[in-house]
Amino acid sequence: MSIIEFSKRQKKIVEIVKKNQPITSEQIAESLHLTRATLRADLALLTMVGILDARPKVGYFYTGNSIQTFIGDYLHKIKVEDTKSFPVIVSEETTIYDAIVTLFLEDVGTLFVQNKDKYLSGVVSRKDLLKIVVGNQDIHKIPVGMIMTRMPNIVFVHDKDSIYDAALEIMEHEIDSVPVVESIKDQHGEVQYKITGRISKTNITKVFVEIGKE
């Protein structure tokens, strides 16, 4: 994943144009004590991404799109398939004890549960497991299928959804992560969901760290 990183000079150019528009490349260069040739690539980039607008024989205008707007647009363009991580999956028959062990060994906050046909059937969170442990139940005998949140009450995303959409689902539902799924029709013609990955708060944080590397 890569993102255009705006330099200090490019940010300064935007500020100059905002204050003095319309302004020619010669005037911008003079303000920065540089040559037009030196600024040519910067102006081309800022025009290409839509922050500046160039009009022949008039000069440069600020379009109203900020660098923050550019980043926002970029988040809508990043696809889930480019940022998802490996899902941690258990079966409905997995015991609570084994689920807890898996949770800690894999260092995740949510386990995705699949049925015998290998389709998504539920999710189990740390909170779900904690509740059953506090209740003094026999965690060696109870399967996760007894306590999991079942379809259709599961929030999920697809590969072609944006990372922004995934972040929105996580925030709105106050959950740790969402499964990434592929929609498949089974032998009865009903839509089922195959688990292909997960998007967590960590995945989303990594995207913002990448954006902030400048």
| Confidence band of 10 (pLDDT split at 50, 70, 90) | confident
| Residue where a domain terminates, one of 20, 50, 77 | 77
* 123 shares a domain with 112: yes
Please identify, among 27, 59, 77, the residue that sits at the C-terminal boundary of a domain: 77
Q: Does residue 3 carry a pLDDT above 60? A: no
Strand partners, 180: 157, 197
What is the distance between the alpha carbons of residues 144 and 23, in angstroms, rounded to a whole number? 66
In a shared domain, residues 73 and 84: no
Digit-coded pLDDT (tens) for 189-211: 899 999 999 999 999 888 878 76
DSSP the chain: ---PPPPHHHHHHHHHHHHH-SB-HHHHHHHHT--HHHHHHHHHHHHHTTSEEEETTTEEEE-S--HHHHHHHHHHHSBHHHH-B---EEETT-BHHHHHHHHHHHT-SEEEEE-TTS-EEEEEEHHHHHHHHHTT--TTT-BGGGTSEETTS---EETTSBHHHHHHHHHHHT-SEEEEEEEEE-TTS-EEEEEEEEEEHHHHHHHHHHHTT-
CATH code, domain with 19: 1.10.10.10
Q: Do 97 and 198 lie in a common domain?
A: yes
Q: How many domains does the chain have?
A: 2
According to the model, what pLDDT value does residue 142 have? 93
- 94 and 134 both lie in a single domain: yes
Residue 154 placed within a domain: yes
Cα first-last separation, the chain = 14
pLDDT of residue 2: 44
Together in a domain, 147 and 64: no
Total-model pTM? 0.67
Q: What is the pLDDT of residue 56?
A: 86
Please check whether residue 139 lies inside any domain of the structure. Answer: yes
